[in-house]
Structure 1
Amino acid sequence: MNLLTESTLTSAHTRPYSSSHIGRTKKLPSYRMDLRSFSEKEYNKFVTLHTVKDWSQLKWKDIGRPYEVKADSKEKTDWESRHQKAMDPHTSWTYFNKAFHEWFVKDVPGELASSKHDFFKELKSFRPGEVKHTIGSMVQLHLWNYVHRIQDGIWDPRGKRALFEGIDIKKPRILFLGAAEGYEAMQLGAMYPGAEIVMVDYDEYCKTTRFAEFPEAYPFLGENPQTGQSKVYYKDDLSIEYIVNDIRSLDYGQEFDIVLSVGLLEHFPDEYKHEVADWHRRFLKPGGYAILTTPRNQVRSKVYYRIMADVMNHTYRELMTVEQMGLYMYESGFNILRHGYIKVHNGLVCQPR
């Protein structure tokens, strides 16, 4: 094979989508590829923006407090039983990141077929314990398939773009706090070309596995700065530095245009939420933007976190409404510029007052 042909095949494998695929979507074994934008009808169905007109008038007695998820994973309860103490936050995140990542890399159709085969095998054996375990695994797989591959509710590129669009900024410097695999910062990098991204997580596994194994072939829909038209970006198109460190130990100053967190605020009880807000303020340039998302408080989210408890629930966790999320940040000294909710997430764009 000559080098040109080999290079062409490698490029086609790692960068399989181009401008000709914009507007298309496809279910792949582990995730959904989605290069669509919302039509006006879909936008109004899947994106709800600006439900609060005046944040200064919003009161906790009117909106209530977040819903605390209390269905702990078996790994957490077993660890605490062995050690006779509460699982510490670092251990909790280590367990969570490994459990969650294992689901992102699953060949879901293949595993569904395998679990169906195992179910009938165990059923014939008349072993109730094994049958019960297999049924539980099948329920989790079907739920993950629906939430992640069919609905694309976890990454939700169209919804995230709807929440993140309209920021008046060029070539931003972006800091992602608690970055995990880094998805949302990469989406922002495609939307605001020329971005310099710094990802931070204190679990090294996030850098060496979750981010490292994020699919090179995943396409992000963004903007071509030369034409103003849509363009497909990939992970290796983006300028990314990944740092393993505790957020509280970072020595950056006010040097970022955007400070981003995804699923961070809801992991802290009320007495610590102002500290989380301060982490966003601490690194922002004057006039910079804090962008946050949290899981929504809705019935289907409660069902999801109960069924997927062994995968998701190693740490303190809340489900919020966008009003609750926004009021925490408003009371912490931020003006809410843009807020809304999508399939399973709330989102805020805000600035320090």
Structure 2
Amino acid sequence: MDVYQHSHTSQAAHPYTEQDIGTTELLPTYRMDLRPTHTKDVFYDANPISDWSELSWEKIGRPYRVERWSKEKLRWEKEHDQQLPPKTSWEMFNRSFQQLFDEDALATRKEALGTLGKSLTTLQLHEAFEAVEDIIHTSVWNKIHRIEDAIWDPRGKRALFEGLDVEKPEILFLGAADGYEAMQLMAMYPGGHTVLVDYDDYCRTHRFGEFPESYPFLGENPATGAPKVWYRDEMNIDFEVCDIRDLKYGKEFDIVVSIGLIEHFPDEYKPLALDMHRRFLKPGGYAIMTTPRAQLQSKIFYTLFADTMNFAYRELMDVKHLGLYAYENGFEILRHGRIKAHNGVIARLR
């Protein structure tokens, strides 16, 4: 396992301090947001369910399946005459998705506008069409990720994660990708330790490994209880490249978290997915799970970005779907609601 800790930092790596709390700033590839959590747009307690045993699939229906596939997935399956293996699909997805995070959307859009103008002047219609696609994609990504900050959604995640009865927690993040949510938890509940798990080494080296060191996480000063700005290199984080089914840990974690994982398991495998959250929890520990929301914006996004995103089975859910899956698999739902792009559930074993 690799531990990402550094004893020496610089002002460039830590550009924001407690004096910046309450502010937000648009940077070339993301938004810095240290504004307070408790505003109307961050967490919606959606039609609270008081008794999960009263819900049934007949009443709420099944999640929405995303079935418009990436051209790269379809091309691979045609060339190999077989279904794309799950591990290969996630390797393709991680590299494709990370390109969006790495891209300066405004600069790319400006370049595409220039290409469009030249192509129309010379009647290069194919190039013009591709430029229009680039303009649409970069504009939508810029709005979703930078303007609305709906992917990382720091205020929504903080609102979902608040109020846990933990101190210096041991955290296990299943399917961690860039590890964002674990870092937010570690800022809110400092002094603990996180194990990020993903079976694609690219997540260790690039998605997490190259996560911006200058990104500020709003959390708590354990000495005073006052708000504090934290950075990745101040956190005790291990990254394990492993299939989550092969993990050897016992019941040793205060928090087991997954972000956008459950929806990739068809119903016959969801008990296995939920068991991955259950088997590593200490008695009284918390399972934190989110899934993409079944809303019109999400359906449009996964259609528009099909070539970037859709390499494997994927569902969009209402929070009731996520909560009922958890309840049926032995969890007590402590909190549930909606943040910008995801449903969120905090649960513990019944």
Length-normalised TM-score, structure 1: 0.95
Q: Quick one: which of 114, 121, 129 aligns to 1:124?
A: 121
Q: Percent identity of the aligned residues?
A: 55
Q: Quick one: which of 319, 329, 332 aligns to 1:332?
A: 329
User: What is the CA–CA distance in structure 2 between the aligned matches of 1:214 and 1:239, rounded to whole Å?
Assistant: 15
State the match for 2:3 in structure 1: none
Q: Deviations over 1:286-310 (max 9, x none)?
A: 1111001111000000000100111
State the match for 1:285 in structure 2: 282
Query: Could you tell me how far 1:14 is from its partner in structure 2?
Result: 0.7
Q: Deviations over 1:249-288 (max 9, x none)?
A: 1110100000010110000100000110000011001111
1:1-353 aligned at under 5 Å gives the runs: 11-39=10-38, 42-43=39-40, 45-49=41-45, 51-353=48-350
User: What is the CA–CA distance in structure 2 between the aligned matches of 1:263 and 1:59, rounded to whole Å?
Assistant: 23
Q: Tell whether the 8 Å contact from 2:42 to 2:155 is kept in structure 1 after alignment.
A: no
Structure 2 letter corresponding to 1:237: E
Give the stretch that moved more between structures: 45-54 or 333-342. Answer: 45-54
Q: Tell whether the 8 Å contact from 2:253 to 2:282 is kept in structure 1 after alignment.
A: yes
Q: Which runs of 5+ in 1 are unaligned?
A: 1-6
User: What is the CA–CA distance in structure 1 between the aligned matches of 2:123 and 2:42, rounded to whole Å?
Assistant: 45
User: What is the CA–CA distance in structure 1 between the aligned matches of 2:62 and 2:16, rounded to whole Å?
Assistant: 44
Length-normalised TM-score, structure 2: 0.96
CA RMSD of aligned residues (A): 1.3
User: What is the CA–CA distance in structure 1 between the aligned matches of 2:134 and 2:105, rounded to whole Å?
Assistant: 12
User: What is the CA–CA distance in structure 1 between the aligned matches of 2:116 and 2:62, rounded to whole Å?
Assistant: 41
State the match for 1:3 in structure 2: none
Instruction: Count how many residue pairs are aligned between Structure 1 and Structure 2.
Output: 343
Query: Could you tell me how far 1:90 is from its partner in structure 2?
Result: 0.4
Query: Could you tell me how far 1:107 is from its partner in structure 2?
Result: 1.3
Q: Deviations over 1:114-133 (max 9, x none)?
A: 11111111111212222111
SS at structure 2 position matched to 1:132 = helix
User: What is the CA–CA distance in structure 1 between the aligned matches of 2:17 and 2:330, rounded to whole Å?
Assistant: 43
User: What is the CA–CA distance in structure 1 between the aligned matches of 2:251 and 2:43, rounded to whole Å?
Assistant: 32
Query: Could you tell me how far 1:46 is from its partner in structure 2?
Result: 3.5
Query: Could you tell me how far 1:38 is from its partner in structure 2?
Result: 3.5
State the match for 1:4 in structure 2: none
Q: Deviations over 1:66-106 (max 9, x none)?
A: 00001111111111111111100000000000001111011
Q: Which runs of 5+ in 2 are unaligned?
A: 1-6
